[in-house]
């Protein structure tokens, strides 16, 4: 997630662009920059750090001109350096680009442009668009046609804005699967990632759709279809949000926004370059012993991954909590550990990385924050590209890690001959179909889950249970519930119930069961049996089932309805719906959801 801003105005834009950068800083804050057209040329200034710090160094207000673009970055491709900061200029400086999203085919485009003599000054995917525009313009000679031709060659997700001296009074923008909105001001127009950028200036907004492009000047704008080229007549809406609501994209809390960001998060995780997945997978085969490691939520991500390694690669990859890692394991050089960390700064995980490395072991990591300590310590790092997670409790970052862990486990399976390539492709297709289904289900089930949370928020004791991969899903969901509601939720394997915990069950104890789909055979049947054990003691059961699964629904007191979905997606869907349940429970209790008591986003001390 990054923040794009562009303004065409009747007055100098540097000050307004700086304000937009500040307003969008929550979308990314590792570097920022600005490009403004004045007197026949584009001036570009950018650097690393928070907006205020970069402004101190680069003195944005000195820049002249009435049309410009700006960007605040959350690194996805390439480290946090001045060269990787946006905007990016083409080799001859005639096209300057800002971008949010990931061009999944950037490597192929980069190679193609390199073979034509283009030189790349950054590691970003964005720079390819600037050079592609320069390259295509030579043959086409018309900026709009060049822009459309270039954007049509992009794969993945993007929102882009382009500035060029060939079209000195206009900005071009386009979007697919990343947000871009148009703000209509008085003698000036804005093109930005979200309305938060310009809400203090205007509330008149045009929402741009996927595969649409826009040409913006200070007085006009034209929206067209990238597919047919026809002009689209878009409704102008009046946004009523206040500034804080705007920052949350209209959601009442960052937690809710981040839960609803997850369809996009899945796509970002699937767009990560295959070579990166392969590089980590190869490390698994280079050593005799492999571990997966994280702490708190990321430990549960490691546990989920552990089940996936068994399923797809036939390997036992124990999940170890970072805080126990140095003492539990006999560490040696013949080991490889895959670490998960959203922040990349967690003390316990850093210490575990160090312990593994001191013993000579290989290390890799999945990390959200580029430039963070863990990303620099490990031999191989995959940046998950989930965008900043503002709510203290992790939702979308963890979810993305699960998808990346899934890809790694499948690739290891393919490399060691356990998983046929066609099966890997099939499952990747299933994961790719998840985004739409998840978005739909979140919208459809929110109302019911909210009502359910209202009915149950007085319950102080919960058991969250599941078997197999649903077990770490239950653990993570219980942690989420505890963090935001301060209610007691104990996660445990459903098979464990009858070995002691059953003693607690009565009509006052509520249980949330994560239920496999009937297709999962014995796993489904044995989870249903555990539900029956609870029901037989008058316990109250909440669980998940599709509309036509009457057998399971009859055994539940409350059923959260699932859509028809491939069995692979069943635990993922339940994980997200359980996040929503925790959210609404906390909302009903009137708690500080985004900043629960006693917690910090990044625990950097031991």
384 binds ligand F6R per the rule CB under 6 A: no
Instruction: Measure Cα distances from 155 to 20, 101, 175, 566 in Å.
Output: 28, 10, 11, 26
296 binds ligand F6R per the rule CB under 6 A: yes
Contact 89, 99 (CB under 8 A): no
Quick count: other Cβ atoms within 10 Å of Cβ 11?
11
Nearer Cβ to ligand F6R, position 357 or 418? Answer: 357
Stretch that binds ligand F6R, among 30-38, 41-49, 289-297, 519-527 (CB under 6 A): 289-297
Stretch that binds ligand F6R, among 263-271, 290-298, 439-447, 489-497 (CB under 6 A): 290-298
Nearer Cβ to ligand F6R, position 394 or 435? Answer: 394
Q: How far is the CB of 321 from ligand F6R (least distance, A)?
A: 10
Stretch that binds ligand F6R, among 308-316, 339-347, 532-540, 574-582 (CB under 6 A): 339-347
Interface mask toward ligand F6R for 389-418; x: CB under 6 A: ----xx------------------------
295 binds ligand F6R per the rule CB under 6 A: yes
Stretch that binds ligand F6R, among 46-54, 108-116, 180-188, 341-349 (CB under 6 A): 341-349
Binders of ligand F6R among residues 56 to 115 (CB under 6 A) are: none
Nearer Cβ to ligand F6R, position 170 or 343? Answer: 343
Q: Phi-psi region for residue 117, left (φ > 0), alpha (ψ -120 to 50) or beta?
A: left
Instruction: Measure Cα distances from 388 to 261, 302, 314, 446 in Å.
Output: 11, 21, 34, 24
- The span from the CA of 490 to the CA of 509, in Å, is 11
Instruction: Measure Cα distances from 75 to 148, 204, 371 in Å.
Output: 26, 31, 9
Provide the strand spans (E) within 448-590: 461-466, 488-493, 510-513, 540-546, 558-562
Contact 556, 512 (CB under 8 A): no
341 binds ligand F6R per the rule CB under 6 A: yes
Per the residue annotation, which of 53, 145, 234, 601 is the catalytic one? Answer: 601
Interface mask toward ligand F6R for 513-542; x: CB under 6 A: ------------------------------
601 is catalytic: yes
255 binds ligand F6R per the rule CB under 6 A: no
386 binds ligand F6R per the rule CB under 6 A: no
Q: How far is the CB of 345 from ligand F6R (least distance, A)?
A: 7
Please list, in sequence order, all residues whose beta carbon lies within 8 angstroms of the beta carbon of residue 224, skipping any fewer than 6 positions away.
212, 213, 214, 215, 230, 231, 232
* Helix segments in 329-433, DSSP class H: 347-358, 373-377, 396-415, 421-432
How many residues sit close enough to ligand F6R to count as binding (CB under 6 A)?
A: 14
Stretch that binds ligand F6R, among 95-103, 152-160, 337-345, 486-494 (CB under 6 A): 337-345
Q: How far is the CB of 550 from ligand F6R (least distance, A)?
A: 35
N-to-C CA span, the chain: 30
Instruction: State phi, psi for 26 to the nearest 5 degrees.
Output: -65, -15
Q: How far is the CB of 339 from ligand F6R (least distance, A)?
A: 8
Indicate which single residue of 104, 267, 343, 373 sits in contact with ligand F6R (rule: CB under 6 A).
Answer: 343
Nearer Cβ to ligand F6R, position 104 or 477? Answer: 477
Residue closest to 247 by CA, chosen among 209, 206, 192: 192
- The span from the CA of 364 to the CA of 374, in Å, is 9
CB-nearest residue to ligand F6R: 296
Q: How far is the CB of 348 from ligand F6R (least distance, A)?
A: 8
Contact 206, 222 (CB under 8 A): no
The tokens describing 247, both together, are 């920052």
Q: How far is the CB of 342 from ligand F6R (least distance, A)?
A: 3
Indicate which single residue of 232, 279, 427, 603 sits in contact with ligand F6R (rule: CB under 6 A).
Answer: 603
Q: How far is the CB of 601 from ligand F6R (least distance, A)?
A: 7
Nearer Cβ to ligand F6R, position 237 or 328? Answer: 328
Stretch that binds ligand F6R, among 191-199, 209-217, 294-302, 485-493 (CB under 6 A): 294-302
Nearer Cβ to ligand F6R, position 401 or 511? Answer: 401
Q: Which DSSP state fits 262? A: H
Nearer Cβ to ligand F6R, position 31 or 297? Answer: 297
2 is catalytic: yes
Instruction: State phi, psi for 252 to the nearest 5 degrees.
Output: -80, -20
Hey, is 244 helix, strand or coil? helix
134 binds ligand F6R per the rule CB under 6 A: no
Binders of ligand F6R among residues 297 to 316 (CB under 6 A) are: 297-298
The strands making up 461-466's β-sheet, listed across from edge to edge, are 488-493, 461-466, 510-513, 540-546, 558-562
Residue closest to 384 by CA, chosen among 406, 412, 403: 403
Q: How far is the CB of 479 from ligand F6R (least distance, A)?
A: 6
Residue closest to 393 by CA, chosen among 570, 294, 574, 256: 256
Indicate which single residue of 346, 384, 527, 579 sits in contact with ligand F6R (rule: CB under 6 A).
Answer: 346
Per the residue annotation, which of 2, 20, 32, 559 is the catalytic one? Answer: 2
Binders of ligand F6R among residues 492 to 511 (CB under 6 A) are: none
Q: Which pairing describes strands 335-341 and 362-367: parallel, antiparallel, or unpaired?
A: parallel
Nearer Cβ to ligand F6R, position 191 or 593? Answer: 593
Indicate which single residue of 342, 384, 485, 549 sits in contact with ligand F6R (rule: CB under 6 A).
Answer: 342
- The span from the CA of 481 to the CA of 491, in Å, is 10
Q: Which pairing describes strands 67-73 and 41-48: parallel, antiparallel, or unpaired?
A: unpaired
Q: How far is the CB of 356 from ligand F6R (least distance, A)?
A: 15
Q: How far is the CB of 475 from ligand F6R (least distance, A)?
A: 11
Stretch that binds ligand F6R, among 11-19, 208-216, 292-300, 578-586 (CB under 6 A): 292-300
The tokens describing 61, both together, are 């207000």
Q: How far is the CB of 600 from ligand F6R (least distance, A)?
A: 8
Nearer Cβ to ligand F6R, position 153 or 595? Answer: 595
The strands making up 335-341's β-sheet, listed across from edge to edge, are 319-321, 289-294, 335-341, 362-367, 380-383
- b/e sequence 505-541, b meaning 16+ C-beta within 10 Å: beeebbbbbbbbbbebeebbeebbebbebbbeeebbb
Instruction: Measure Cα distances from 449 to 306, 577, 588 in Å.
Output: 30, 8, 12
The tokens describing 233, both together, are 């007549």
Contact residues for ligand F6R (CB under 6 A)?
A: 295-298, 341-343, 346, 349, 393-394, 483, 602-603
Catalytic residues: 2, 601
């Amino acid at each position: 997630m990054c923040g794009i801003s562009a303004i065409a105005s009747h007055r100098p834009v540097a000050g307004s662009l700086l304000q937009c950068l500040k307003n969008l800083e929550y979308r990314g804050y590792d570097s920022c920059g600005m490009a403004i057209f004045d007197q026949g040329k584009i001036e570009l200034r950018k650097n690393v750090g928070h907006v205020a710090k970069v402004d101190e160094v680069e003195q944005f207000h000195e820049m002249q001109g009435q049309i410009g673009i700006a960007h605040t970055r959350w690194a996805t491709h390439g480290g946090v350096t001045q060269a990787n900061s946006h905007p990016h200029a083409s080799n001859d400086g005639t096209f300057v680009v800002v971008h949010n999203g990931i061009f999944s085919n950037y490597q192929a485009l980069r190679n193609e442009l390199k073979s034509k003599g283009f030189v790349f000054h950054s590691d970003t995917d964005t720079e390819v668009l600037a050079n592609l525009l320069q390259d295509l313009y030579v043959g086409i000679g018309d900026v709009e046609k060049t822009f459309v031709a270039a954007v049509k060659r992009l794969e993945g997700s993007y929102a882009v804005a382009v500035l060029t001296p060939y079209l000195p009074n206009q900005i071009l923008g386009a979007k697919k699967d990343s947000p871009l909105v148009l703000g209509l001001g008085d003698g000036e127009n804005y093109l930005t990632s979200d309305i938060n950028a310009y809400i203090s200036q205007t509330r008149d907004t045009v929402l741009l759709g996927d595969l649409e492009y826009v040409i913006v000047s200070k007085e006009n704008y034209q929206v067209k279809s990238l597919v047919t080229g026809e002009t689209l007549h878009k409704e102008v809406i009046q946004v009523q949000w206040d500034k804080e609501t705007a920052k949350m994209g209209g959601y009442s809390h960052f937690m809710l926004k981040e839960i609803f960001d997850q369809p996009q998060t899945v796509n970002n995780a699937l767009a990560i370059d295959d070579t990166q997945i392969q590089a980590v997978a190869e490390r698994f085969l280079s050593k005799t012993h492999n571990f997966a490691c994280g702490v708190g939520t990321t430990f549960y991500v490691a546990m989920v991954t552990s089940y996936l390694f068994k399923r797809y690669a036939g390997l036992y990859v124990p999940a170890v909590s970072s805080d126990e890692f140095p003492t539990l394991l006999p560490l040696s050089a013949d080991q490889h550990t895959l670490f998960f960390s959203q922040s990349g700064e967690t003390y316990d995980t850093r210490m575990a990385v160090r312990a593994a490395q001191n013993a000579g072991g290989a290390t890799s990591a999945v990390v959200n924050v580029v430039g963070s300590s863990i990303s620099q310590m490990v031999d191989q790092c995959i940046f998950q590209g989930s965008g900043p997670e503002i709510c203290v409790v992790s939702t979308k970052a963890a979810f993305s890690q699960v998808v990346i862990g899934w890809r790694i486990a499948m690739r290891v399976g393919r490399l060691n001959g356990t998983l046929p390539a066609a099966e890997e492709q099939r499952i990747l297709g299933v994961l790719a179909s998840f985004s739409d289904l998840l978005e739909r289900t979140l919208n459809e089930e929110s109302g019911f889950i909210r009502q359910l949370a209202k009915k149950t928020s007085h319950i102080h004791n919960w058991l969250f249970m599941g078997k197999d991969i649903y077990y770490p899903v239950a653990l993570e969901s219980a942690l989420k519930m505890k963090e935001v509601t301060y209610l007691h939720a104990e996660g445990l394997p459903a098979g464990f119930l009858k070995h002691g915990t059953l003693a607690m069950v009565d009509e006052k104890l509520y249980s949330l069961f994560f239920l496999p789909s009937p297709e999962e055979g014995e796993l489904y049947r044995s989870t249903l049996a555990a539900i029956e054990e609870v029901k037989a003691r008058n316990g109250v059961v909440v669980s998940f089932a599709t509309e036509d699964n009457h057998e399971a629904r009859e055994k539940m007191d409350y059923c959260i309805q699932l859509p028809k979905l491939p069995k692979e997606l069943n635990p993922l869907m339940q994980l997200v719906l359980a996040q929503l349940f925790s959210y609404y429970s906390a909302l009903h209790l009137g708690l500080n959801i985004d900043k629960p008591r006693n917690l910090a986003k990044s625990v950097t001390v031991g």
